Structure 1
Amino acid sequence: MFNHPAFSLEQDENRTIVGIVESIIYANDAISILKLSLGDESIKAVITRLITPDLPRLGEIWELFGADEVHPKYGDQFVAQECFRQHPVGKLIVNYIHYHTPGIGVFKARQLWTKFGQNLYWLLDKGDIDPLTDKKLGKIPTDIAYLLIDKWHKNKVETEVVRFFQKNGLTTSLAIFALQFFGVTTIEKIIDNPYRLLAFTNFPLVDKQAITFFGVALHDPRRMSAAVSAAIYKAYDAGNTAILKKDLIQSIRSLTQFSKQDAQLVIEQALLDRTIVISDEFTYQGFGHALMERFIAQKIANLLSHVITGELTGTIYKFKPELLAQFEQMNNITLTNQQKQAVETAITHRFSIIDGGKGVGKTTCLSVLHYLLSNTASVFQVALSRDAVKRISMATHKEASSISSFLFRISEERLPAHSKLVVYDAHTIDLPTMIRLMRAIPDSGSIVLLGDSRQLPPIGPGLIFHALCMSPIIPTITLTQLHCFDASSSIPIVADSIRLERIPCVSDFDKTCPEDKQVGLCHISIPSEDIAKITVSFRHFILKWGDIQIIAPTVSLCDDINIRIHDSYRKDNVGNVKALVKCTKSIGLDDVIVCKDNLDYKGLSSGSLGKVIQVFDSPIAQSLPSGEIELCYALAEFDGHIVKLSAADFKKIKLGYCIPCNSAQGSEFDRVIIAMPASTILDNSWVYTAITCAKIQAFIIGDIKVFYENCTTPPKAFKRCIGFSQTLRETFNG
């Protein structure tokens, strides 16, 4: 008997029932109370997570074993002791068809059952569309009949896989991931090697089930190979593309409980199997990771094997100083020698880098580059964040794209020959993304990377831009001369000091100072426990000073601040409670939101900030490019772009009043509030990146000592273990 208020002490004899989930009366992380349709009747069923890793969802068929009871408070209910997902049987097919096939209502589903009876199962299994569409029999439109058969077959396979996973102690969500990858061979693949599930979950979970349910021995070759892969990918998930030998041994021992000697034998076998390769004397790489870095290094070597020296012939360009002078005269500016050298390098080399901090004129170099190549080459410019895209587009008066939308577009239409690709904020690009960008460049093309090697590294694995900047092989120009600032305490000056690991000029915040005099870097001393509360209050105080964004080091602090601000906006000016989005009760009307991941088909990328401008009373249907229908729950505005958002979209969206630094990276705001408690996440690059997000003023909320310490602490990014530097040397020396 379960110890929960939903259960009584009086139960009848056990029985088995099969029904479709009509509605979910109540659900939390531990229990689900359902309305289950058995065909001719409906009952209330109680299921706990103690008997299934995944609770039932609306429209699914479930087989329950348990007993009926009469609860003194909740009345008649069925308490399940065991449960399994099922494929429809008997008259349950009526409700199943209604739930899973748009265009077929309950009445039409009943007509099909009346007309065909049990033969309806045979027709769907066979995929026989003729009787279903016959005007005297099924009377279903052809497109809906095909949809019904497709849904039926997918559900049948999915149900078999889910039941197999449940019986082997694995979750439904894991079954769905595996099914999407392995298809109809999922069960066969997992029986052959349960460790194939490492593509979707962690080693301890798979290892436990492999030993318990699949009889895998401790020294089974499959287990040993999986342990090496798990160790490599654990390092990869932490941003590393390589791993030190001592760390690999320790990781394998931690996962398997092997001795040091056994772990070394496992590594030797992995080398023979090419699961891993030697990067250098003390470092290993996953075979796939080594191939990725080698591809980039070889592509760069191929590009640099042809130095551009003459007039335009194929991919050959000539730097023309007279055009440069013409640009200066037209725009009434004087370029620094560094900028001129950067532009010349970008034009005369098929691969080059322009590195530099805030205010050194990287965007100006980009404008000059466009001007000098305007009549000779197709130039495509991309950036990771939408804010950076907008900024470079306005500066150059040329079209720019987010990297995600650019890659999506060229997947259908390749770049023209001789194109030059310019990647802005290239320090944010991880290894997989760099692979895709390098593949996009035609053999006759060229690429320029502009970035800041002192900013936060990519969220994903690798350190490509940073490693390239430190390589003497690569044509790199580092801009150091500041040329756009208004006062000695301006943000570029402050950022430059931090970039050099020096303590910048900081003043205490003076609330009596007028808004037009509020510039540079200010500090508000606050105990760590009060940072969230004071940050919210301070945001309200300066809200009318322009575009304000809060940045914090941890997700938990971001969530705390976001919830506080959301709660403070729950009522409008006349006291009415604002509507919440029905598919997510944490976001409502007028809330600021941020994308946690790319929403390519909506034109949104990770870090895109927007605002909910309308909440629908009931969902509104919208057609997707794929032809599928989605239900949308709200309208949001992202930088002037109006987007309808579905429940699937909201899974990738959260409140955006306060965001992590890597989400703000590449964006600029008038003023930035930096909530800064002591945290292991902080270092020089974190502080520097946060400061560079401000155009006018930045505020440090917290202990000034924490700020000072991290200004002078070398970036942790430089400690990432990568194989790219070694691969680059070997490629060019070879």
Structure 2
Amino acid sequence: MSIVLVERILAVRAFGVIFAGRAMDGEIAAAGSTVRVKAKQRAIAGEPAAGETWNVEGSIVRSQWGPQIEATLVTRVLPSGSLLKSYIATHVPGIGRDRAERLWRTYGHELPRILCEGDIPALAEVIAPDRPILGPRLAALLVREWRQADAEARLVAWLQRLGVVDLRTVRRVAAVYGEAAIERLKDNPWALVTLLPWPQVDDLGRRLLREAGVQNPQDAPARLVGAADAVMKDVIATGSTAAEERSLLPMLARKLGEIRSDHPRVQAAFEAGRRNGAFVSGRGGLWRAPGCAIMEEAVVARLRDMLRQSPTLTVAAPAFSAMNGHGALHREQAAAVATVLSRPLACLQGGAGVGKTHTTRAVCAVWEAAGGKVLLAALAGKAALRLSRATGRLARTLFRTLRELEERDTITARLATEDMDQEERIILEAKRSSLAEITAETLIVIDESSMVDLATMHALLRRMPEGSRLLLVGDERQLPPVSFGLVYHKLVDDPGITTRLDVVHRQTEDSGIPAVAAVLRERQIPALSPYRGLAAGVSLIEAETVTAIAEGVEDAYHDLAGHDRLIIVPTREGSAGVATLNRRMHDAHVESTGTQEMVGALGAWFSVGEPVIFERNDYRRGLFNGSLGRVTRVDMASGGLHAEFDGDELLFERAELIDLSLVYALTCHRAQGSQAERVIVALTPCQLLDPSWLYTAVTRAEHQVVIVGSRKTLRRALGARWAAEEREVGFEWVTSRP
């Protein structure tokens, strides 16, 4: 262990933080020496700042930047002695060096005790004796900052004693419970169930109760309620928002270590959960997660209000002439445009090749010709980019849309309430004008709506003013949202708000993919010809074992070299999973091309010419979570690389490589919103395979699909229920009548 005084923050990334500082003792590095510290998110409690002191555990390695500590545990240490002055001066706005010096001269080593006791009048007299208003304000701020830091340090030590070593969890506990975290958790340690796995929480809770002298901690009311909370947490993790009692009781029994669901302790836990709001009663015998139930009811109520609202904008006949400038529409598509624009809430449903995007482009043109505004969005960055290109209009991710709407509200409030000079006002107004906006004349179009989860839909509807309209474009047979809830899949069954496109058009029909997709929609096994290399349509490489599947995928990928290719697999791990296939493809690429390979910050390998995926949103660079690119250069000296995304070559320094991964292969959920000329589907037997998975994977291809697996696996997958049907939700939408 070594105490390090932070001098500079070098990098803050999704993986963690790198900072430079001075070793205050000689435990790891020589006292007084300059060191770099690299800590992953799970190893550090909080974000360091210049002037702070941190306890660092780990080993020192030699790097191109000099000595570097690869940290295994990094915790904040409250400063003492003369370091305390610097800490106060730099961490509390308004204090500064002079006031910090006065505090130190007045209290010396007693200052930490004074701050914890919170003697604000005495502190104010020292900080600003001639400022009766400012002094108490600064003193209160100083006390609050110190107490928070002190509480965090004590919480880290307390949880570590109990075996909680994941510091991300510590940070979340501190954020939720604040200074009272330890006392709150002593009273009810099972409150940690939302943050930690049940076995760890349950062991910790029973241990604390035994230490406190509680008899029979296994029957403690807090434990029974905690078990109910843990069960609903598991329900939500499956994508459901509710469950039947017959499902909940066995789950409760497993949490409590009981064999039978009718055990008195299990029954007591069910009643305790019901009384304490772990789940609430719903229709049809369902028990609903309370937070999800609130969102579901709010979404239904808001959508029904939309159907009642009077139109703020009428689309007159002349506006429909705008359709003519966007390519010929089939009569089904033209009718869909008119129907969709006659409704304040509409779903545009269609399978592969029916021209949903073509129809959406016409909808946008007509609405704008009528005087309205259009806001386009999709859940995934890839889908938003494709929508932008197809419509010729800016499309954002839903995450970005919501963030911009919030930022717009913040700027509007500042402009209305704050005094500012003209230059600052002009800057803020310019910023606001560039952000997403929803007015009473706005038509919001959400593409790939089947992917949109309950929480995201709830957040969007809260931002929609009276009069604004919503068009949900999607395909009910694609995979449901990754997160919990169903909205689009429930709404699309209502003919009063749903327009369906059924006609497959010639330019897509020629590939044969829409025909196969249509058969899959009926959960039938399509006629698949044996794979014979580059060709349009859907073919099969027979493979029974996982090893044979991995080899078949690799052979097909290399066989289709020179074309836009994508591998879709069910799982990340395993010999035919994403990680293994990406590594196999990388090794084959390096062997065949002889290009140099370099390793990233977390052990990922890259080489020139390889496909990569960017895994967070970076609006400065114009990249979304899911943007696809290709490595163009690697710099072995600096450890960075260049990659091309949509025609732009971008530099990624070594610390930024955490945001890049190889993308020869993707899971099907990750591939939603993406398309490629040629798609290779690894049909590895697993529970994730169902008709939705197959249909979604096949419809990612534009010209060719190669399925690698067995007909038996294909038959078993098509015999399963649709993924959306496996979810129990409390969202009810019976009719579109208000």
Asked whether the 8 Å contact 1:572–1:578 carries over to 2, the reply is: no
User: What is the letter of the counterpart of residue 722 of structure 1?
Assistant: V
Mapped partners of 1:293, 1:435: distance in 2: 8
User: What is the letter of the counterpart of residue 639 of structure 1?
Assistant: D
The match for 1:579 among 595, 598, 602 is: 598
Shift of 1:169: 2.4
Cα 1:334–1:592, aligned 2, differ >3 Å: closer, same or farther? Answer: closer
The match for 2:515 among 485, 493, 498 is: 493
Mapped partners of 1:450, 1:604: distance in 2: 23
Report the 3-state secondary structure (helix = DSSP H, G, I; strand = E; otherwise coil) of the residue aligned with 2:315.
coil
Alignment of 1:156-167 (within 5 A): 156-167=150-161
Which residue of structure 1 aligns with residue 411 of structure 2? none
Asked whether the 8 Å contact 2:5–2:22 carries over to 1, the reply is: yes
Asked whether the 8 Å contact 2:453–2:481 carries over to 1, the reply is: yes
Report the 3-state secondary structure (helix = DSSP H, G, I; strand = E; otherwise coil) of the residue aligned with 1:254.
helix
Alignment of 1:595-614 (within 5 A): 595-596=614-615, 598=617, 603-614=622-633
Which residue of structure 1 aligns with residue 542 of structure 2? 525
User: What is the letter of the counterpart of residue 318 of structure 1?
Assistant: V
Asked whether the 8 Å contact 2:245–2:287 carries over to 1, the reply is: yes
Query: Do residues 565 (structure 1) and 585 (structure 2) align?
Result: yes
Query: Do residues 293 (structure 1) and 283 (structure 2) align?
Result: no
Cα 1:494–1:125, aligned 2, differ >3 Å: closer, same or farther? Answer: farther
Shift of 1:235: 0.4
Asked whether the 8 Å contact 2:489–2:724 carries over to 1, the reply is: no
The match for 2:466 among 443, 447, 450 is: 443
Shift of 1:476: 0.7
User: What is the letter of the counterpart of residue 416 of structure 1?
Assistant: T
Q: Normalization by structure 2: what TM-score?
A: 0.74
User: What is the letter of the counterpart of residue 256 of structure 1?
Assistant: L
Report the 3-state secondary structure (helix = DSSP H, G, I; strand = E; otherwise coil) of the residue aligned with 1:659.
strand
The match for 2:192 among 173, 185, 197 is: 197
Shift of 1:355: 0.7
Report the 3-state secondary structure (helix = DSSP H, G, I; strand = E; otherwise coil) of the residue aligned with 2:282.
strand
Alignment of 1:40-79 (within 5 A): 41-42=26-27, 60-61=54-55
Cα 1:243–1:602, aligned 2, differ >3 Å: closer, same or farther? Answer: farther
Count of aligned pairs between the two proteins: 618
Mapped partners of 2:287, 2:572: distance in 1: 32
Which residue of structure 2 aligns with residue 356 of structure 1? 350
Mapped partners of 1:153, 1:648: distance in 2: 33
Cα-to-partner distance string for 1:253-303 (whole Å, 9 max, x where unaligned): 211236624433433343333332111242100211111100110011000
The match for 1:370 among 357, 364, 373 is: 364
The match for 1:263 among 266, 273, 283 is: 266
User: What is the letter of the counterpart of residue 273 of structure 1?
Assistant: N
Which residue of structure 2 aligns with residue 231 of structure 1? 231
Asked whether the 8 Å contact 2:326–2:362 carries over to 1, the reply is: no
Shift of 1:549: 0.7
User: What is the letter of the counterpart of residue 302 of structure 1?
Assistant: D
The match for 1:656 among 663, 667, 691 is: 663
Cα 1:158–1:571, aligned 2, differ >3 Å: closer, same or farther? Answer: farther
Mapped partners of 1:330, 1:605: distance in 2: 30
Cα 1:86–1:715, aligned 2, differ >3 Å: closer, same or farther? Answer: closer
Cα 1:89–1:720, aligned 2, differ >3 Å: closer, same or farther? Answer: closer
Cα 1:20–1:55, aligned 2, differ >3 Å: closer, same or farther? Answer: same
Asked whether the 8 Å contact 1:571–1:578 carries over to 2, the reply is: no
User: What is the letter of the counterpart of residue 438 of structure 1?
Assistant: L
Deviates more, 1:486-495 or 1:273-282: 486-495
Report the 3-state secondary structure (helix = DSSP H, G, I; strand = E; otherwise coil) of the residue aligned with 1:554.
coil
Report the 3-state secondary structure (helix = DSSP H, G, I; strand = E; otherwise coil) of the residue aligned with 2:613.
strand
Report the 3-state secondary structure (helix = DSSP H, G, I; strand = E; otherwise coil) of the residue aligned with 1:482.
coil
User: What is the letter of the counterpart of residue 369 of structure 1?
Assistant: V
Shift of 1:614: 5.0
Which residue of structure 2 aligns with residue 380 of structure 1? 375
Cα-to-partner distance string for 1:456-502 (whole Å, 9 max, x where unaligned): 11111112111111235x51112111114355552222212212223
Which residue of structure 1 aligns with residue 77 of structure 2? 87
Which residue of structure 2 aligns with residue 416 of structure 1? 439
Which residue of structure 2 aligns with residue 537 of structure 1? 555
Asked whether the 8 Å contact 1:531–1:677 carries over to 2, the reply is: yes
Mapped partners of 1:91, 1:611: distance in 2: 53
Mapped partners of 1:336, 1:636: distance in 2: 44
Query: Do residues 317 (structure 1) and 307 (structure 2) align?
Result: no
Which residue of structure 1 aligns with residue 611 of structure 2? 592
Report the 3-state secondary structure (helix = DSSP H, G, I; strand = E; otherwise coil) of the residue aligned with 2:561.
helix
Query: Do residues 506 (structure 1) and 528 (structure 2) align?
Result: yes
Cα-to-partner distance string for 1:369-391 (whole Å, 9 max, x where unaligned): 11211132111111122332232
Q: Once the two structures are aligned, what percentage of the paired residues are identical?
A: 25
Cα-to-partner distance string for 1:664-689 (whole Å, 9 max, x where unaligned): 11111111111112222111111110
Shift of 1:349: 1.1
Alignment of 1:99-138 (within 5 A): 122=111
User: What is the letter of the counterpart of residue 77 of structure 2?
Assistant: H
Cα 1:44–1:298, aligned 2, differ >3 Å: closer, same or farther? Answer: same
Which residue of structure 1 aligns with residue 680 of structure 2? 673
Shift of 1:60: 3.9
Cα 1:230–1:373, aligned 2, differ >3 Å: closer, same or farther? Answer: same
Mapped partners of 2:451, 2:731: distance in 1: 16
Which residue of structure 2 aligns with residue 625 of structure 1? none
Query: Do residues 305 (structure 1) and 322 (structure 2) align?
Result: no
Deviates more, 1:151-160 or 1:211-220: 151-160
Mapped partners of 2:643, 2:675: distance in 1: 20
Asked whether the 8 Å contact 1:225–1:266 carries over to 2, the reply is: yes
Aligned-CA RMSD value: 4.1
Cα 1:478–1:264, aligned 2, differ >3 Å: closer, same or farther? Answer: farther
Cα 1:505–1:598, aligned 2, differ >3 Å: closer, same or farther? Answer: farther
Report the 3-state secondary structure (helix = DSSP H, G, I; strand = E; otherwise coil) of the residue aligned with 2:605.
coil
Shift of 1:663: 0.6
Cα-to-partner distance string for 1:22-47 (whole Å, 9 max, x where unaligned): 9xxxxxxxxxxxxx9985644699xx
Asked whether the 8 Å contact 2:568–2:682 carries over to 1, the reply is: yes
Report the 3-state secondary structure (helix = DSSP H, G, I; strand = E; otherwise coil) of the residue aligned with 1:415.
coil
Shift of 1:427: 0.3
User: What is the letter of the counterpart of residue 463 of structure 1?
Assistant: L
Asked whether the 8 Å contact 2:2–2:26 carries over to 1, the reply is: no
Cα-to-partner distance string for 1:68-116 (whole Å, 9 max, x where unaligned): xxxxxxxxxxxxxxx996736779969x99xx99xxxxxxxxxx9xx99
Which residue of structure 2 aligns with residue 700 of structure 1? 707
Report the 3-state secondary structure (helix = DSSP H, G, I; strand = E; otherwise coil) of the residue aligned with 2:560.
helix
User: What is the letter of the counterpart of residue 383 of structure 2?
Assistant: A
Shift of 1:171: 1.9
Alignment of 1:456-475 (within 5 A): 456-471=479-494, 474-475=496-497
Cα 1:649–1:390, aligned 2, differ >3 Å: closer, same or farther? Answer: same
Report the 3-state secondary structure (helix = DSSP H, G, I; strand = E; otherwise coil) of the residue aligned with 1:699.
strand
Which residue of structure 2 aligns with residue 402 of structure 1? 397
Shift of 1:643: 5.4
Shift of 1:397: 1.8
Alignment of 1:4-43 (within 5 A): 19=3, 39=24, 41-42=26-27
User: What is the letter of the counterpart of residue 555 of structure 2?
Assistant: S
Cα 1:598–1:576, aligned 2, differ >3 Å: closer, same or farther? Answer: closer
Q: Which runs of 5+ in 2 are unaligned?
A: 7-20, 31-41, 59-72, 92-100, 117-122, 128-141, 409-436
Asked whether the 8 Å contact 2:5–2:24 carries over to 1, the reply is: no
Cα 1:370–1:18, aligned 2, differ >3 Å: closer, same or farther? Answer: closer
Mapped partners of 1:442, 1:63: distance in 2: 52
Cα-to-partner distance string for 1:152-197 (whole Å, 9 max, x where unaligned): 8876443221101112222242212212333333223322322222
Q: Which runs of 5+ in 1 are unaligned?
A: 1-16, 23-35, 46-53, 65-82, 102-111, 133-147, 309-314, 620-631
Cα-to-partner distance string for 1:133-168 (whole Å, 9 max, x where unaligned): xxxxxxxxxxxxxxx999988764432211011122
Shift of 1:721: 0.6
